[in-house]
Structure 1
Amino acid sequence: MVRFSVSKIYLGQDWLLIVIAFIAVTTVLGHLQIDRSYYKGREVSFNFSEYSYSVSAKWKINPESADKDVYVLGDIKTGSLYFNYVKYVAVLLVMFLSFKEFQKIMTSVKEVKTFEQDTIRSFRSIGKYIFIYFLLTSYHSMTFKLGGYSGTSISLSPLIFVLLAFIMAEIFKEGRLLKEENDLTI
Structure 2
Amino acid sequence: SKSAAAQARQRLGSEPLKWLFDHSARHWSGQDRRAYLFKGLQLFAMDGTTLRTHDNVENRSHFGAQLYASGALASYPQVRGVTLTALPTHIVHSAAFGPYGTNEMLYAKQLIADVPNESLTVFDRGFLSAEILCALTQHGTDRHFIIPAKSNTRWELIEGDENDCIVRMRVSPQARAKCP
**TM-score of the aligned structures, taking structure 2 as reference length:** 0.23
Q: Higher helix proportion, which one? A: 1
**Structure with the greater alpha carbon radius of gyration:** 1
Higher relative contact order (CA 8 A, sep 6+): 1
Give the structure with the higher percent strand.
2
